[in-house]
């Protein structure tokens, strides 16, 4: 890891991050799909998803995406190329 990324990582670790505790974990089976559809169909599905999605589901998505981006940027064995 280069010095700039290491300094960024130290700032993140020493920053004012909120506390998030894992109180339970479980495995779920799912399949990710690459979908092709018309824009209006996608808009309809997004609207339906927003109508039924819970705040917890939105939080889980945000945490997962944040962790994925963090690992992509700072993960072990990540090349600086």
pLDDT beneath 70, residues of the chain: 77-81
In a domain, 80, yes or no: no
Q: What is the mean pLDDT of the chain?
A: 87
DSSP code of 15? S
> In the prediction, which pLDDT does 54 show?
95
In a domain, 68, yes or no: yes
> pTM (2 decimals)?
0.63
In a domain, 81, yes or no: no
Measured from the Cβ of residue 73, the count of other Cβ atoms closer than 10 Å reads 13
Give the count of domains, the chain: 1
Residue 64's domain spans which residues? 3-74
In a domain, 50, yes or no: yes
């Amino acid at each position: 890891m280069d010095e700039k990324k290491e300094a960024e990582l130290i700032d993140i670790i020493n920053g004012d991050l909120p506390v998030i505790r894992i109180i339970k974990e479980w495995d779920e089976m799912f399949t990710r799909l690459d979908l092709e559809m018309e824009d209006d169909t996608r808009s309809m599905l997004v609207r339906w998803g927003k109508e039924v999605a819970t705040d917890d589901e939105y939080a889980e998505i945000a945490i997962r995406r944040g962790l994925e981006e963090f690992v992509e940027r700072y993960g072990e064995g990540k090349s600086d190329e």
